[in-house]
Amino acid sequence: MARFFERIAGKVVVVSGQPSAFIVAMAIIIVWAVTGPLFRWSDTWQLVINTGTTIVTFLMVFLIQNAQNRDASAIQAKLDELIRAVGKARNEFIGIEHLSEAELVALLKALEEIAGDEKAHHLAIERLIGSR
């Protein structure tokens, strides 16, 4: 079931990200709006677009989340490999995405303290940006 969902989700995400998908969606909205006077702007006429967009939105949330989860996992694996491969990098950082939010904040503060003076870092960044 998981492979089936991943296959379908991948295809839908690719198709929904194309300009033609936007054009189709826009065409549906235009047709709906143009038919308003024909249906005398009835509640049923409004319910059709509301129901359709709600269903599409509800389903797309799951598909987009699936795509983001796969992308995040792939990026994390690549970063872990870079940490493992670089000689001076600390292997202890592999897997930190599993820490709690509080643990990550504490780790970030500790790293910032090790890095030194924040003002000096900001000045260095400003010089770097200014040199472009």
- What pLDDT was estimated at residue 54? 98
**Domain of 128, in residue numbers:** 99-132
> Do 53 and 107 fall within a single domain?
no
> Do 79 and 39 fall within a single domain?
yes
Contact 71, 21 (CB under 8 A): no
Q: What is the pLDDT of residues 99-112, one digit of tens each?
A: 999 999 999 888 88
> Do 62 and 106 fall within a single domain?
no
Backbone angles phi and psi of 7, in degrees to 5: -65, -50
> Do 12 and 71 fall within a single domain?
yes
What domain count does the chain have? 2
What pTM did the predictor assign?
A: 0.66
Q: What is the pLDDT of residues 41-57, one digit of tens each?
A: 999 999 999 999 999 99
> Do 103 and 121 fall within a single domain?
yes
Q: What is the pLDDT of residues 76-104, one digit of tens each?
A: 999 999 999 998 888 898 999 999 999 99
Contact 77, 97 (CB under 8 A): no
- What is the C-alpha separation between 67 and 63, in angstroms, rounded? 6
> Do 89 and 116 fall within a single domain?
no
Amino acid identity for residue 25 in this structure: A
Radius of gyration of the chain (CA): 24
